[in-house]
Structure 1
């Protein structure tokens, strides 16, 4: 298969995956973000990179986001929200964060391929991305290696959450651009 053919198949996989997602849970996430004082995001590996991109867009729309593990991340409090992106939902460090967040009384959202994971029962909001998890290998859900389909879907999902937030708050690109980094 040639490069463009692979690209077309990746786009088809993304389309099939996103069509199967639950919009009601996504709407709960948008509403929870509007209510939260501060929003924390976490993920390991490539999921963590998607979380960082999401945090940047949240800042652009005027929210108060933080990436767990960064040196300037403040403490999590009861009126805050933690959003975890984890394909497996089983990563021990993320489980520990989820347990801590719920013990403090913060809202927990999980975006995962595994709705029966150990983190899932802790989450007030659970969004399933029905994609191949990296441990599934050649499950037939994707031609892509490991968790690529999940991670790509995660980024698109996070961007769609931002679009819905913008719609609800009647925000536009020019508003966001005003918060864009200017020391570059």
Structure 2
């Protein structure tokens, strides 16, 4: 390992390049439709498993800072979803069984579904009213497409997901005319 940090610099540079390339492939219409769906929903429910679940939790927090009513599936304070609500599902594979089940149930109850996935043609993407495709390679897709990442497993998808969701918040701030200072008024104060 180099003592001067050049190896780490190279890795970070490569990762940033991967992120830029992946995020640059997200369709503008898909992104705009997604932001409008979240912005216009009376209540937003968020679901994801593993590291994708951590990214949607961060998005739920920012939605709350925006003044949106947002819930993460699985939290004990999450109420029943209803017609007109929005379920946001983040799933790299688009086939995670529990998330497919949540998506089907939400649709049955009249809620809208917005999906963010690597595989828009998978079950969750097919069920969703709005789907955003993040073209990030995973161990599974590398075998299918030959596109690779220097990062392990779904890291590139999860990082891209977080940045895409943060960009969605910036768009929602523009739509609502809300400033960071106004959002900070909703920040936790029992720290």
Report the Cα distance in structure 2 between the residues aligned to 1:134 and 1:26, rounded to whole angstroms.
Answer: 25
The corresponding residue for 1:149 is 156
The corresponding residue for 2:141 is 136
Q: Deviations over 1:9-60 (max 9, x none)?
A: 0000000001111111111112112221110000000000000000000000
Query: Runs of 4+ in structure 1 displaced over 6 angstroms?
Result: none
Change (3 A) 1:85 1:134: farther
1:81 equivalent in alignment to 2:117: no
The corresponding residue for 1:43 is 48
- Alpha carbons 1:137, 1:145 under 8 Å: kept: no
- TM-score, scaled to structure 1: 0.96
Q: Deviations over 1:75-133 (max 9, x none)?
A: 00001000000000000000000000100110101100001111111100000000013
SS at match of 1:119: helix
Q: Give the superposition deviation at 1:3.
A: 1.1
**How many residues matched?**
184
- TM-score, scaled to structure 2: 0.93
Q: Give the superposition deviation at 1:134.
A: 4.5
- Alpha carbons 1:90, 1:119 under 8 Å: kept: yes
